[in-house]
Structure 1
Amino acid sequence: MLLGLGIALGVAGIGFLCWLLFLCAVYAAPLFVAAMVCTTFYDHTMMSGSHAILAGIAAGIMVLVLGQAILVSSHDPAIRGAVSLLLVMPAALAGFGMTLGFSGLGDMGTIPAHLFATFGALCVGGAAWTRLCAIQAA
């Protein structure tokens, strides 16, 4: 009884995390930029922690707004494709890491785990690409 409940809750938890990853995949690039700016400002300048966090949040918001503004205002497919690709790459990297972590929960070998993680990266990157391509040019 308890073993079945544990398995069911484990599958539900992994399913919830995958759903959350697919939902938030579009925001991976602004989050990545915000984290990099925050750590860089905190490590290499004399900023306090709160100022570095505020600078990181501002940089992430700027990337999000600028990326969506370019996607909305541009009619050139090459520019839209390049901006979408730049916004999708961190999402695909997050999908790779998460899928590789999930495959490490079982007794999977190294090569199958990396193949499975590559498939996960393609799925998450494709989902983010689809959501970004849904943004219509004005």
Structure 2
Amino acid sequence: MLLGLGIVLGVAGIGFLCWLLFLCAVYAAPLFVAAMVCTMLYDHAMMSGAHAVLAGIAAGITVLALGQAILASTRDCVLRVIVSALFALPAALAGFGMTLGLSRLGDMGAIPTYIFATFGALCVGGAAWTRLCAIQPT
């Protein structure tokens, strides 16, 4: 009884994490920019900890707003593909990392683990790409 409950809850937990990853995949690029700006400003002693965090948050919000504004306002296919790719590639990397981590919980070999992680990266990157392409210009 308890073993069955544990298996069901484990599958539900992994399913929830995958759903959350697919939902938040579009925000991987702004989060990456925010983390990099915060780290660079703090490591090079340009700002204190709180100021570096606030500058990182501002940079992430700027990247998100700029990307959304470009996708919502332009009809140029090349520019839309470039912006969508810049947002979908970090999402694919996040999908690769999460799928790799989840697949290492099992007892698979190295090659099947990386094949599974590559498939996860393609799925998450494709989902982010689809969500970004759904933004129609006004």
The answer to whether the superposition gives a TM-score over 0.5 is yes
TM-score after normalising by structure 1: 0.98
Matched, 1:105 2:105: yes
Between Structure 1 and Structure 2, how many residues are aligned?
138
**Counterpart of 2:52?**
52
Within the alignment, does 1:132 sit opposite 2:110 as a pair? no
Indicate the residue corresponding to 1:37 in structure 2: 37
Q: Percent identity, aligned pairs only?
A: 80
RMSD over equivalenced CA pairs, Å? 0.7
In the alignment, structure 1 segments of 5+ residues that lack a partner are none
TM-score by length of 2: 0.98
| Structure-2 separation of matches of 1:46 and 1:105 | 40
Question: What's the counterpart of residue 19 of structure 2?
Answer: 19
- Once the two structures are superposed, residues 43-88 of structure 1 have per-residue CA deviations (whole angstroms, 9 ceiling, x without a partner) of 0123111000000000000000000111111111011000100000
Distance in 2 of aligned mates of 1:9 and 1:106: 16
Partner Cα distance (1:13, 1:72) in 2 = 35
Determine the C-alpha separation between the residues in 1 that align with 2:49 and 2:8: 41
Q: Secondary structure at the match of 1:113?
A: helix
C-alpha separation in 2, matches of 1:35 and 1:113: 28
The residue aligned with 2:118 is: 118
Task: Give secondary structure in 2 for the equivalent of 1:6.
Answer: helix
Corresponding residue of 2:93? 93
Q: State the alpha-carbon separation in 1 of the partners of residues 27 and 65 from structure 2.
A: 11
Q: Give the distance between the partners of 2:61 and 2:30, measured in 1 at CA.
A: 7
Give the whole-Å Cα distance in 1 for the aligned partners of 2:72 and 2:53.
Answer: 29
Give the AA of the match of 1:29.
A
SS for the counterpart of 1:135 is coil
